[in-house]
């Protein structure tokens, strides 16, 4: 059984933003591989969770981004996809503008704020901007290139719009674990 602690009362869980949920729910049990499979099969009804330490780091990171960048999308484009930086004159925050050096190919990175996963499960992100015309094909190409089927089990998903904390840059979550022989 999962231990879920909700610090505020909510009427309809499906209407809670990812940020609100991050601020208000702490679940202390690591997510197992079989749970991820069932969660995906059931249509991602609710968000996955981080442990308390990752949740705090994530909140602090979001606060820093809100002070220094126009949006989370600008932060991702500048720091991961190497877009050029401009300064919004009214807010004095950094905004991303496409540049010659901008990464146009899908980019695989470890998730800096992984969910509370059981030992042995790795959490990755694939970033693409603009959104690919065939997202599943691109995701599978990246995963299969980096994580060979003989060595790794793989799961991936794209959050539904209601659960996205980064809404303007296409990204997929990837979970991997080594196959035990």
pLDDT per residue as tens digits for the range 54-67: 999 999 999 999 99
Structural domain tally of the chain? Answer: 1
| Cα gap 69→20, rounded to integer Å | 20
Classify residue 32: in a domain, yes or no.
Answer: yes
C-beta neighbour count of 139 within 10 angstroms: 24
Classify residue 112: in a domain, yes or no.
Answer: yes
33 contacts 41 by C-beta, under 8 angstroms? no
Look at residue 27 in the predicted model and tell me its pLDDT.
65
Could you tell me the residue range of the domain that residue 68 belongs to? 14-178
What residues in the chain have per-residue pLDDT under 50? 1-18, 20-24
Classify residue 146: in a domain, yes or no.
Answer: yes
Whole-prediction pTM: 0.83
Look at residue 161 in the predicted model and tell me its pLDDT.
86
Look at residue 41 in the predicted model and tell me its pLDDT.
94
| Cα gap 142→165, rounded to integer Å | 22
The residues near 16 (Cβ < 8 Å, ≥ 6 apart) are 10, 24
Classify residue 2: in a domain, yes or no.
Answer: no
Classify residue 4: in a domain, yes or no.
Answer: no
Classify residue 1: in a domain, yes or no.
Answer: no
Classify residue 82: in a domain, yes or no.
Answer: yes
Classify residue 5: in a domain, yes or no.
Answer: no
Distances (CA, A) of 135 to 13, 129, 139, 157: 28, 11, 6, 10
Distances (CA, A) of 78 to 69, 92, 98, 101: 10, 16, 9, 11
Look at residue 12 in the predicted model and tell me its pLDDT.
32
The residues near 80 (Cβ < 8 Å, ≥ 6 apart) are 103, 107, 109, 127
């Amino acid at each position: 059984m999962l231990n879920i602690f909700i610090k505020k009362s909510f009427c309809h869980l499906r209407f809670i933003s990812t940020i609100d949920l991050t601020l208000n729910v702490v679940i202390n049990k690591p997510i197992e591989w079989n749970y991820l499979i069932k969660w995906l099969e059931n249509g991602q009804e609710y968000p996955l969770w981080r442990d308390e330490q990752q949740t705090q780091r994530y909140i602090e990171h979001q606060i820093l981004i809100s002070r220094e960048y126009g949006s989370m999308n600008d932060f991702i484009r500048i720091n991961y996809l190497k877009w050029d930086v401009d300064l919004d004159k009214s807010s004095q925050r950094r905004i991303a503008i496409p540049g010659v050096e901008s990464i146009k190919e899908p980019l695989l990175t470890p998730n800096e704020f992984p969910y509370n996963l059981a030992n042995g499960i790795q959490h990755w992100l694939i970033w693409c901007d603009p959104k690919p015309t065939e997202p599943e094909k691109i995701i599978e190409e990246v995963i299969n290139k980096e994580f060979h089927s003989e060595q790794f089990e793989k799961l991936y998903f794209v959050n539904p719009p209601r659960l996205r904390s980064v809404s303007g840059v296409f990204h997929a979550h990837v979970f991997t674990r080594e196959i035990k022989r």
